[in-house]
Amino acid sequence: MLVGKICNREVVFVHQDTSIPEAARLMREHHVGDLVVVKERNGKRVPVGIVTDRDIVLEVIAEGVDMNDVNVGDIMSDNLVTAREGDDLLETIKVMRAKGIRRLPVIDDDNELAGILSVDDLLELFSEQIADLARLIAFEQKREKESRK
């Protein structure tokens, strides 16, 4: 399965100069724990970082930093790891695990933001598949019992 087939295409994004209160408001409004930070290049949104609710808590609130003195660009994770739409899902999960990444921006062939892949999305996908397998086992047992009557 390819990353582009299952990634969430509704990505909430901001620019580096976005204020911390605005970033927090967007997270609350869209019920997300992260924002992809983009730069506009030739009319395309290219991801350059990511900021999470945890970044806001640990880098701003816990440090007692005045929210008006910093912006998203100051606290974002800028050693960004991305996946391409055509990347293999299982290989991408290995990368996420190795790097301790829970949310991964997905880019297209032009390096433009195309989606985001999160552990939450993966858990939902795999739990549905496991449930399908469990139903298969139950169906097989039922069919076997009926055929032996």
The domain spans of the chain are: 3-118
> Which CATH number among 1.10.10.10, 3.30.365.10, 3.10.580.10, 3.40.50.720 corresponds to the domain 3-118?
3.10.580.10
Question: Which H or E run includes 86?
Answer: none
DSSP tag of 2: B
The pLDDT tens digits for 80-131 are: 999 999 999 999 999 999 999 999 999 999 999 999 999 998 998 888 888 8
CA-wise closest residue to 48 among 78, 74, 13, 75:
78
pTM score above 0.95: no
The pLDDT tens digits for 86-96 are: 999 999 999 99
Q: Is 69 helix (H, G, I), strand (E, B) or coil?
A: coil
